[in-house]
Amino acid sequence: RIQRLWKDNFDTPLVADTIQWVEAVVFPWLEVFATSPDRQAQDHPLFHQWRTRLEYFVYHTYGNQRLSEFFNIVVDFPDSDAALEDLRTCLSMTAQHQQLITEARRQIKKRLLHAGAKTTDILQFFVNLIKAVNVLYPSSGGILDKVCDDIKAYLRHRKDTVRAIVLGLIGSSGDSSDLALVLHSELKSSNEDNTLTVYYSSDEEDDMMVNPTQCKPSPRTMRTSMDKGIDMLRVLGLSNKTDIVKMLVSIFGKKDLFIEEYQAILSSKLLALSDYDTTQEVATLELLKIRFGEAALHNCEAMIRDLAETKRIQSNISRMQKEDRRGGSTMDCTIVSRLFWPELPDEDFVPHPQLIALQEQQVQYYKRLKAPRTLEFINALGHVQLELEYPTTSV
């Protein structure tokens, strides 16, 4: 009955219903065999002993079933939240904590950590895993670290891990992937929440790793240190949410790699803007400054200021062109500060003479506005808009 009802059913609470079924169906049968005529069933020590064993058996069987499906439960999160809540109850009764760690690591190595899995998929699972373990152990960072160690070590050796994380954190409007939505949401919420992370001492975690065969289960009275930690957080009204962004940064142990990657991505995004609208980039930068500090992102802030300054300069140049009654083709330039931007790619080639004339015109107008400064063009980063004329139409 247990396997038939529980297998692959993650979205429905099942433990409480199963306990009620045992009480309604099994316990009355047990009263016949484990009691004597002169004593009530509830007072008979043999009945109490078997009742406790049967309840423990239900929790332990459910724990084994869900631990064998733990990978699928994490993949289905948050739809599998009901199964995790039931599993948390069972773990508090059976102390199968070491079995959880062993089983989770085995399934992760077998099904996820291989060359065929995309980095974004591994990161998505990693985020789900953090949230799932947080449901099971809201106040134990040590168990989370043990479960996640293999994933972090594997991601550390993938070349595109940093870029995938940064792209997810900045959550550009054009990226609708699940990872981008989740990570950008986490970046915003982690800066708004008052987050408290509580870690057990080594002695307390050793107590949680007891051998279940050496304990005497008492499901109705057992209270583990895990439950006490949850109650304390509820009383204080504090969040027990794990900092997912911090966990991702901890894969490499330092933030410099993420700052450099963000600066490279920001450079590409800013150079691609045709209207100089940096509203989205400013909002993202403010979130990152709260996370990584203003000093670390000073260059990125200067890059965005360059776009605002460019918009003003191009507006003035357009005005001067109208005053000089210059018509024909026009050119807009994104003016960047060499000291604050990452190294930009360039190729040595000679543009069309018409483009050279437009560049020289831009330089003259810029010198009138910002003398004695001048402009140096990076031709490889430019783009043009062409109009093709056919006998009957133009494109």
Q: Please, what is the end-to-end C-alpha distance for the chain in angstroms?
A: 70
- In this prediction, residue 262 has a pLDDT band, given cuts at 50, 70 and 90, of very high
The answer to whether residue 1 is domain-embedded is: yes
Q: Which of 95, 116, 149 is the last residue of a domain?
A: 95
183 belongs to a structural domain: no
- Where does the pLDDT of residue 16 fall: very low under 50, low under 70, confident under 90, or very high at 90 and above? confident
pLDDT digits (tens, 9 = 90+) for 155-206: 999 999 999 999 888 875 445 567 888 888 888 776 555 443 333 334 444 4
Does 44 fall in a domain?
yes
Instruction: Give the confidence band of 212 by pLDDT, cuts at 50, 70, 90.
Output: very low
Euclidean distance between CA atoms 205 and 135, whole angstroms? 17
| Structural domain for 285, as ranges | 268-370
Assigned domain for 165 exists: no
The domain tally of the chain equals 2
Q: Is the pLDDT of residue 99 over 90?
A: yes
Count the neighbouring beta carbons within 10 Å of the beta carbon of residue 244: 20
Q: Which residues of 83-121 are buried (b: 16+ CB within 10 A; e: fewer)?
A: bbebbbbbbbbbbbbeebbebbbebbeeebbeeeeebbe
pLDDT value for 229: 43
Mean pLDDT of 291-308: 92
Residue 350 has pLDDT above 50, yes or no: yes
73 closest CA partner among 143, 8, 138: 8
Tens digit of each residue's pLDDT (9 = 90 or more) over 273-282 = 888 889 989 9
> What is the tens place of the pLDDT at every residue in 58-79?
888 888 989 999 999 999 998 9
The whole-number pLDDT of residue 43 equals 56
Confirm whether 193 is domain-assigned.
no
- Euclidean distance between CA atoms 285 and 251, whole angstroms: 22
